[in-house]
């Protein structure tokens, strides 16, 4: 199970989830720096190593150690990123983050719905929608709109196919080469969203 966008934001009970492995990225909803990630082994399944070498824990052994986690951790660890992730985990309060990001998500969607030339891509259930809002504007390719927001308004958004190329056939957004995606975080505010909305109204 890919929990990169949920671990740290939603309560995840590993013992109740029937996934053999739960993968996560440290730099997304766990609020750590880039360069640290991992997976939780939630079953008796043993994976073969994919990247090997550079283990100082058993240097005379030409094979990877068989103990876990050493078996899966080739080369030197990114100690700085791990320390940053550790600090983030000590700071995180899932319920506070969820409430704040949910409020801002609803606030942004309501504002975008008031702009006539915006095409929103929303899930069917508003109750479970949080943090990620995708849209397009008539007359713009997604990449072009992202460039305008960046260079003219100092607003950073993600554009394109978002590492999920097949979903875009379903969304029928290939004419725009994907979507513009706003990622809302704990450190965003209503003011940030108002700045984005005012920029979109100028286009």
Parse the chain into domains and list their residue ranges: 21-91, 94-202
Q: Does residue 198 or residue 165 have the better pLDDT?
A: 198
Choose the CATH number for 94-202 among 3.90.1150.10, 3.40.50.300, 3.40.50.1220, 3.40.190.10. 3.90.1150.10
- Tell which residue, 130, 133, 134, 132, has the closest CA to residue 95: 130
H, E, C per residue of 104-140 = HHHHHHHHHHCCCCEEEECCCCHHHCCCEEEEEECCC
Q: Count CB neighbours of 130 within 10 A.
A: 22
> pTM to 2 decimals?
0.84
Residue 4 pLDDT > 70, yes or no?
yes
Average pLDDT over residues 22-30: 94
What is the rounded CA–CA span in Å between residue 187 and residue 3?
21
* pLDDT tens profile 116-171: 999 999 998 899 999 999 999 999 999 999 999 999 999 999 999 998 888 888 89
Beta bridge partners of 119: 136
Average pLDDT over residues 12-33: 92
* pLDDT tens profile 50-80: 888 876 667 777 788 888 888 888 888 899 9
What is the DSSP secondary structure assignment for residue 89, as one 8-state letter?
H
pLDDT at position 23 is 94
């Amino acid at each position: 199970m890919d929990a990169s966008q949920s671990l740290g934001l939603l309560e995840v009970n590993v013992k109740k989830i029937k996934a053999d492995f739960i993968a996560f990225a440290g730099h997304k909803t766990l609020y750590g720096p880039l360069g640290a990630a991992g997976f939780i082994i939630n079953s008796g399944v043993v994976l073969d190593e994919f990247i090997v070498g550079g283990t100082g824990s058993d240097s005379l052994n030409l094979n990877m150690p068989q103990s876990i986690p050493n078996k899966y951790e080739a080369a030197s660890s990114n100690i700085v990123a791990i320390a940053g992730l550790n600090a983030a985990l000590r700071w995180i309060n899932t319920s506070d983050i969820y409430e704040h990001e949910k409020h801002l998500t609803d606030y942004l969607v309501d504002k975008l719905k008031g702009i006539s030339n915006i095409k929103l891509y929303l899930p069917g259930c508003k109750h479970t929608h949080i943090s990620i809002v995708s849209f397009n504007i008539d007359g713009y390719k997604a990449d072009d709109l992202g460039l305008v927001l960046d260079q003219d308004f100092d607003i950073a958004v993600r554009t394109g196919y978002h590492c999920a190329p097949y979903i875009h056939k379903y969304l029928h957004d290939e004419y725009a080469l994907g979507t513009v995606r706003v990622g809302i975080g704990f450190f965003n505010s209503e003011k940030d969203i108002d700045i984005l909305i005012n920029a979109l109204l100028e286009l």
